[in-house]
Amino acid sequence: MSVAEGDLEAPNRGAIVACLRGSAGLYRLPVYAACTLLALLSNYLLGKDVLWDTLDYHLYAGFVAMHDRFAQDYFGAGPGSYFNPYAYAPFYLLVASGIPALAIASLLAVVHSTILWVTYELALCACPSNDRRTCVALGLWSVVLAFLNPVLIEQLGSSYSDITTAVLALFGWLLLVRAVRAPRAWLALCAGLVLGIATALKLTNAVHALAAFALIILVPRPVEALRCGVYYAGALALGFAAVAGPWAYQLARHFGNPFFPLLNTVFRSPEFTTEPLRHFRFIPASLPEALWRPFALADPVRMAQVEQNAPDLRYALLLLLVAWLVARWVWQRWRTRPDAATPAAEPQPGTRVLAGLALGLALDWVLWLTASGNGRYFLPAAGVTAVVLVALVFRTYPRQLRVRRYLLAAALSVQTIAVCLGSEYRWTPVSWGGPWFEVTVPPALSSEPDLYLALGAQSNSFLAPFLARGSGLINLTSVYPLSPRGATGAHIQGLIRDYAPHVRILVRGARLHDETEQGTPQRSVVDLTLGRFGLRVDPTDCTTISVRGLPPDIESILKVGSQPIEHTPPDTTLLLSCRVLADDSDHSAEIARERAVDQVFGHLEDACPRLFQPRGMLSEHTLGSSWRRRYVNTDLLAWVSGGELRFVDTLHGDDPIDLGRESDWARAALPLVCGRRGSHYFARVRDTHE
């Protein structure tokens, strides 16, 4: 780099356009190619994505996008069955084509690499100089820093739609940045359409669409800013309606809620809880925790922004840089009194762009922490963070090239160390060879359609495309267990009648186990679940579906008190399917017991509504006299066993917490001291002397 690289004299608009479209553009092709090669290499080293969400609902969602399943499926993949499925259609089509898994993942990685392309373009727009080398250097630093995001790396080449929709959201921001440089209403209109589509495909992108209004504030001239704002808002609504509308119509027709199961506190469909749903897994518990979050993300611990270790120092570095710039500005203002007669200069396009990106990023951060705090949903703003951090360093040290390089090299070094040594990735021992899913369905199950009642927290809905044509799927015991009563029970019973006698269970395992045996699934537990619906399992009519290329069973601590699952050879997973029969047994005692347990759990929810939410979830009978209730908002599991009431955090591996005798809770709600410290929940019965 030459000294000319640091020349930051205010360029005219034509020079800036020349920088963006001319000489700096010559570097686009090699930069894009390098980004794509980096994504392909990362994907290959990480291995095939066969983790929980892929098996639980990703492939199923793409299948549903291409096939109308409302008449034969019901919560086939749990509540996620009814989120807009169109973003997963490409993954399903690639899998259905039968091409090798490595080819599928490589194609996805190429698409995912475009988020780095857009980051490069965004950095060029934030360039404070018209010098070619400065623009290219800023773009390259920004791309490398954007790539060094453990959450982004984890998803390259995977079935997740987070990167795919993040590309759209970030591209919308790029269009608005171009409007900030040279106001054109059509750019704001296109940005609104793109961000509306991104939001329709994945609702978590709504925070980026709202935060983008901050960019419009920086559009020069109030009249142009107002026009761009109106165009953007209208196009945002239009883009969202065009993509979300067809699926929303189907949901409204079947459930009376166009966003089912979301927003059911408003639409109140009888087939889902009307309690508020909000996942608190990564949301700060207090204002001090929210303020500390940029530094908390630098710690290589689980459950900071995603479930696995994913340390990210970029937010803390950006905050420290901003604090240093503010302190330096205050010091300079204190030492030098400004000349009041000197009129304020019109901000240059690069300055407006950087100010708009910084303002939008700050608003995006606040909205994101309030809505979810999940790092997978912050990928567009993570790219903006890299651009803002690098651009601020370039602007702070315009001619001190050595200082600038040292600072950025130090930032990249510490982030690289954190990414390489402190992060956990999706690596599995599964081979890249063969198709993504290699499923073998026995002839008895492939000749005629059956209704499958899936049992277990994992829905295994990825099997749906491989079952006999016309087969149906109901996931009875997902994170949202289905009730045998009310509209939900009526819907399930209707499907059972339609398919009878071709109704079967679907559960992971090689065979049913008696109570005297260790291992799952146990026949008694299966019958307890089926008994709610007047059914029982027929152990004489069982067969298995084999799947090659899956990792070991990932059923979690949700199976309280159960024994480990028996494993078949490491390259094969078996799923058991047994026919289901009508059950004429007397369940009056169990029904009475369920009512008593419901009263206990109801009193627990009254005592601490902050932890045990949403209220009124289904109580499940598990083993012996054990009953449990799951709370999806807080990932807690409460259960009654042996006359005691306990609960556990299902994600952090904390020890179960004893809350006292069931008989005491049956009479009334006991006073609790409860809450959340960091990411951990606590509760204890208040002492009478407190």
**Packing angle of the helix pair 132-147, 101-125 (nearest 10 deg):** 140
Q: Give CA–CA dist 617/202, Å, rounded.
A: 26
pLDDT value for 392: 94
Percent of the chain with pLDDT over 70: 91
Q: So where are the chain's domains?
A: 8-46+100-337+347-422, 438-585, 589-685
Concatenating the DSSP letter of every residue in 218-267 gives TSSSHHHHHHHHHHHHHHHHHHHHHHHHHHHHHHHHHHS-TTTTTTHHHH
Q: Give CA–CA dist 364/343, Å, rounded.
A: 33
**Top-confidence residue, 430 or 215:** 215
pLDDT value for 431: 82
pLDDT tier, 461 (very low <50, low <70, confident <90, very high otherwise): very high
> What rounded mean pLDDT belongs to the chain?
88
pLDDT, tens only, 567-602: 455 678 899 999 999 998 888 888 899 999 999 999
With a cut of 60, say whether residue 556 has pLDDT above it: no
> Residue 678: which of 647, 648, 652, 646 has the closest Cα?
652
pLDDT value for 570: 60
Helix (H, G, I), strand (E, B) or coil at 645: strand
pLDDT value for 346: 53
291 contact partners, CB below 8 Å, separation of at least 6: none
Residue bearing tokens 């009263």: 599
pLDDT tier, 246 (very low <50, low <70, confident <90, very high otherwise): very high
| Range of weakest confidence among 135-139, 164-168, 551-555 | 551-555
pLDDT tier, 221 (very low <50, low <70, confident <90, very high otherwise): confident
Q: Give CA–CA dist 664/645, Å, rounded.
A: 10
pLDDT value for 688: 65
With a cut of 50, say whether residue 1 has pLDDT above it: no
pLDDT value for 133: 86
pLDDT tier, 22 (very low <50, low <70, confident <90, very high otherwise): very low
pLDDT, tens only, 671-686: 999 998 877 899 999 8
**What mean pLDDT comes out for the span 256-260?**
96
- In this structure, the strands spanning 636-641 and 644-649 are antiparallel
> Residue 214: which of 441, 79, 388 has the closest Cα?
388
Provide the residue count of the chain.
Answer: 690
| Range of weakest confidence among 145-149, 407-411, 494-498, 548-552 | 548-552
φ and ψ at residue 545, rounded to 5 degrees: -105, 125
pLDDT tier, 457 (very low <50, low <70, confident <90, very high otherwise): confident
**What mean pLDDT comes out for the span 488-507?**
95
